[in-house]
Copies of this chain bind each other. A is one copy, B any other.
Amino acid sequence: MSLDSNQKLTDEQQMLSDMVSKYLSETYDFDSRRKIANGPVSVAPPHWKQFAEMGWLAMPFDESDGGFNGGPKEISILFEAFGKHLVLEPYLETILLGGGALSFGPEDIRRQYLPAIIAGDLQCAFAHHEPNHTAERYYVGTTALQSKDSWQLNGVKSIVSNAPHSGLLVLTARIKGRKHDSDGIGLFVVDKNVRGVHCDDYLTIDGRRASEITLNEVEVERGALLTVDAGQLDTLLDRACFAVCAEAVGAMSALISMTIDYCQQRKQFGQSIGSFQALQHRMVDMYIASELSHSLLIATTNAIANASDDRHRLLAALKFRVDRSAREISYGAIQMHGGIAMTDEFKVGHYFKRLTVISKQFGNANFQLERYRHYNVHNNHS
């Protein structure tokens, strides 16, 4: 494994990085973010159109679909910055998951939806989890029954992030097999306003909006089936997993900076609390936890970019380590800030809440450990 040649950014990547940093630093201060998060359920995050104008929404799409063909490095640049600023805009749901799934569809579907998505006019949600089964990757009890010109969808989807703002749902429904099987899962695109779709909307602890969705005899056309390829579903989920890891790395690095700053400024017993050895050593351990995650992020980015065989194993290792690091860093940051970190008006606790949500998304720690072992054995034999 060699990193040297891959750590440098291309000129385009450097420009993207600078632009994202600049925009978010200027517009996305914590108080503005808090106003967005504390708004009513139905109010969507307001920076979406600017994201579109700056070209960010086109980033991961193929040039043939109007995109910029961005790879994992571009995704990680965007998401690390989103993590640093706790960005609420639904890039994950609309672009990576919804848009990503639509990219698997036939050309007429892509033509129909992708331009509106890239322009920031259409938002998506990805409905996959089902009640009590959020830790399994392939559990799908929702059924898709084929009749001559259509599919009928029945089932319940849980914790569908961004659904309240979405016009489109991309959802998983089982075409064949048993509920836990990896094969036989179809990805469908469904207009949220079609008959039989019922949504209960709510706020989430990380300042987003989500829905519980019931599908009751929902009829969609045959073309609504985007793919039934388990490999494509994996690609979609892996990319989302990778993106939230990058987001977490950004959030952790922000938490560490603000904790160090706070401890240097805050005085107790006549000295800055950053001079207490026990706190210093805890900050060091937080820094180490962050650097280890960061290392895995770099290697995973390169492995995905190079389509290396090792990418699955690295991604599993990354997500596992992010979970561990996020706990350690969040807990330490809150403890060292003290009471203020437990208030809604101070930013530290919001990083903690976002990181907590991320650690349960796209495979919890046990899932990743199992997956790491699977691909590790595979690698050792090859």
Contacts and interface: CB of A to CB of B under 8 A. Distances in A.
A278 B281 CA distance: 7
A382 interface: no
A277 B277 CA distance: 6
Contacts of A276: 277
Chain A: interface size category: under 10
A8 to B, nearest CB: 38
A280 to B, nearest CB: 8
A263 to B, nearest CB: 14
Contacts of A280: 278
A277 B271 CA distance: 14
Interface string A267-291: 0000000001110110000000000
Determine the main DSSP class of A at the interface with B: helix
Nearest to A279: B277
A110 to B, nearest CB: 53
A278 B277 CA distance: 6
A354 B278 CA distance: 30
6 contacts: A276-B277, A277-B277, A277-B278, A278-B278, A278-B280, A278-B281
Contacts of A281: 278
A379 to B, nearest CB: 28
Nearest to A282: B278
Nearest to A275: B277
A276 to B, nearest CB: 6
A287 to B, nearest CB: 15
A280 B276 CA distance: 12
A280 B277 CA distance: 10
A271 to B, nearest CB: 12
A142 to B, nearest CB: 36
Interface in A243-286: 276-278, 280-281
4 closest pairs, A vs B, by CB? A277-B277, A277-B278, A278-B281, A278-B278
Contacts of A277: 276-278
A275 to B, nearest CB: 10
| A276, A278, A280: residue with the most chain B Cβ atoms closer than 10 Å | A278
